Structure 1
Amino acid sequence: MAIVDINGDPLTLERLEGSQIEDNSQVGMLLKQYATHPSQGLTPAKLATLLAESEQGNLAAMADLAKDMEDKDAHLLCEIGKRRRALLGLNWQVKPPRNPSKAEEQDADRLSEILEDATWFTDLVYDLSDGILKGFAATELQWDYIESQHVITGYEFIDQNVFTTPHGDHNNLRLNNGTQDGEALNAFGWALHTHRSKSGYVHRAGLATVLAWPFLFKNYSIRDLAEFLEIYGLPLRLGKYPSGASQDEKNTLLKAVLSIGHNAGGIIPRGMDIEFQNAAQGQSDPFEAMIRWCEQSQSKAILGGTLTSQADGKSSTNALGNIHMEARKDLTESDARQLEQTLTRDVLYPMHALSSKSYSGNRRIPRLVLETTESEDIAKLAPAIQVLVETGVKIPQSWANEKLQIPVPDKDEPILRPVSAQSAGLPAAALSTSVAALTTEFKDRTAQQELDTALNAITSGNMRDEYKATLQPLLDKLNQSEELAAIELAELYPSLDQDSLTEMLTKLFFVSELWGMINE
Structure 2
Amino acid sequence: MGTIVDINGNPIQQEILHEPQTARIATLPTEYANHPSRGLTPYRLAQILEEAERGNLQAQADLFADMEEKDAHIFSEISKRKNAILTIPWKIEPPENATPAEKDDAAWLTEIMTQVSGFSNCLLALMDGIGYGYSNVEMEWGMIEKQWIPAALHHRPASWFRLAQFNQDELRLRDSSPLGAELIPMGWIKHVHRAKSGYIARCGLHRVLAWPYLFKNFAIRDLAELLEIYGIPIRLGTYPTGTGEKEKATLLRAVTEIGHAAAGIIPEGMKIEFEQAARGTHDPHLAMSDWAERSVSKAVLGGTLTSQADGKSSTNALGTVHNEVRHDLRDSDAKQVAATIGRDLFYSLLALNRPNANPRRLPLLVFDTSEKEDFTTFATALPNLVDVGTPVPVSWVQKKLGIPAPLKDEPILVRMPGTSAANIKGKALGLSAFAALSARNQQTSADTQAVTLEQEAAEAWQAVVSHIESLVNEADSLPALQATLLNAYAGLPLEDLQAVMAQGFAAALVAGMYEVKAGR
Q: Normalised by the size of structure 1, how large is the TM-score? A: 0.77
Aligned-pair distance for 1:378?
Answer: 4.0
Contact 1:132 1:206 in 2 (8 A): yes
Contact 1:31 1:159 in 2 (8 A): no
- Counterpart Cα distance in 1 of 2:244 and 2:7: 80
Matching of residue 422 in structure 1 with residue 457 in structure 2: no
SS for the counterpart of 1:369 is strand
Q: Secondary structure at the match of 2:311?
A: coil
Q: Identical aligned pairs, as a percentage? A: 46
Q: Compared with structure 1, are the counterparts of its residues 234 and 383 closer, same or farther at alpha carbon in structure 2 (3 Å cutoff)?
A: closer
User: Partner letter of residue 450 of structure 2?
Assistant: Q
Q: How does 1:332-347 map to 2 (within 5 A)?
A: 332-347=330-345
Letter in 1 for 2:200: V
Q: Offset of 1:74 from its aligned partner?
A: 1.3
Question: Deviation of residue 408 (structure 1)?
Answer: 5.0
User: Counterpart in 2 of 1:437?
Assistant: none
Quote the residue 2:220 is aligned against: 222
Aligned to 1:370: 367
In structure 1, distance between residues paired with 2:279 and 2:168: 53
Cα offset, 1:290, TM superposition: 1.6
Instruction: Note the alpha carbon deviations across 1:297-352, whole angstroms, 9 max, x for none.
Output: 11111111111112111111111111111111111111101111111111111111
**CA shift in 2, pair 1:217/1:251, >3 Å:** farther
3-state SS of paired residue (2:87): coil
Residue 490 and residue 407 in structure 1: after superposition, are their counterparts in 2 closer, same or farther (change >3 A)? farther
**Structure 2 gap segments, 5+ residues each:** 412-439, 482-492, 505-520
Contact 1:37 1:64 in 2 (8 A): yes
Match of 1:452 in 2: none
Q: Which aligned pairs between 1:56-455 and structure 2 lie closer than 5 A? A: 56-240=54-238, 255-266=253-264, 274-357=272-355, 359-381=356-378, 384=381, 387-388=384-385, 391=388, 398-407=395-404, 415=440, 417=442, 420-424=448-452, 426=454
Residue type of the partner of 1:371? D
Matched, 1:10 2:7: no
Question: Could you tell me how far 1:152 is from its partner in structure 2?
Answer: 1.8
1:70 touches 1:77 (CA, 8 Å); kept in 2?
yes
> CA offsets, 1:434-489, max 9 Å, x none?
xxxxxxxxxxxxxxxxxxxxx9xx9xxxxxxxxxxx99xx99xx9xxx99776459
Distance of 2:128 and 2:247 partners within structure 1 = 58
Preserved CA contact (<8 Å) 2:298 2:304: yes
Q: Secondary structure at the match of 1:34?
A: coil
CA offset at residue 196 of structure 1?
1.1
SS at match of 1:199: coil
User: Cα distance 1:158–1:23, how it changes in 2: closer, same or farther (>3 A)?
Assistant: same
Amino acid in structure 2 at the alignment position of 1:52? E
Aligned-partner Cα distance in 1 for 2:115–2:34: 39
Q: Name the amino acid aligned to 1:16.
A: L
Q: Displacement, 1:259?
A: 3.5
Partner Cα distance (1:127, 1:490) in 2: 86
Query: What are the ranges of 5 or more consecutive residues in structure 1 without an aligned counterpart?
Result: 432-454, 459-469, 495-506
Corresponding residue for 2:20? Answer: 19
CA contact (8 A) 1:165 1:172 kept: yes
Closer/same/farther in 2, CA of residues 240 and 107 from structure 1, 3 Å limit:
same
Equivalent in the alignment of 2:437: none
CA contact (8 A) 1:142 1:189 kept: yes
Secondary structure of the equivalent of 1:94?
A: strand
What is the rounded CA distance, in whole Å, between the counterparts of 1:427 and 1:257 in structure 2? Answer: 92
Alignment: residue pair count: 456
The more displaced of 395-404 and 176-185 is: 395-404
Residue aligned with 2:104, SS: helix
CA contact (8 A) 1:238 1:274 kept: yes
**Using the alignment, how far apart are the partners of 2:290 and 2:91 within structure 1?**
41
Matched residue type, 2:143:
Y
The CA deviation at 1:421 is: 4.0
Using the alignment, how far apart are the partners of 1:483 and 1:332 within structure 2? 62
Conserved? CA contact 2:6–2:12, under 8 Å: yes
Aligned residues of 1:9 and 1:187 also touching (Cα < 8 A)? no
Assess, with a 3 A threshold, how the Cα gap between structure 1 residues 62 and 249 changes in structure 2: closer, same or farther: farther
User: Corresponding residue for 1:450?
Assistant: none
Structure 1 residue 368: deviation in Å? 0.6
Q: How far 1:115 sits from its partner (Å)?
A: 0.9
The structure having more radius of gyration, on CA atoms, is 1
Please state whether the residue corresponding to 1:206 is helix, strand or coil: coil
Whichever residue aligns with residue 399 of structure 2, its letter is E
Q: Is the 8 A contact 2:236 2:273 kept in 1?
A: yes
Q: Matched residues in 2 for 1:264 and 1:423: separation?
A: 86
Structure 2 vs 1, CA of residues 515 and 253 (structure 1 numbering), >3 Å: closer, same or farther?
same
CA-to-partner distance for each residue in 1:87-114, whole Å, 9 max, x for gaps? 1010001011111122211111110011
1:503 matched to which residue of 2?
none
Task: State the Cα RMSD in Å.
Answer: 3.7
TM-score by length of 2: 0.77
Corresponding letter in the other structure for 2:56 = N
**For each residue in 1:199-232, what CA deviation from the matched residue of structure 2 results, as whole angstroms up to 9, or x when unmatched?**
1111111111111111111112222222222233
Give the whole-Å Cα distance in 2 for the aligned partners of 1:383 and 1:393: 15
Q: CA separation in 2, counterparts of 1:511 and 1:137?
A: 68
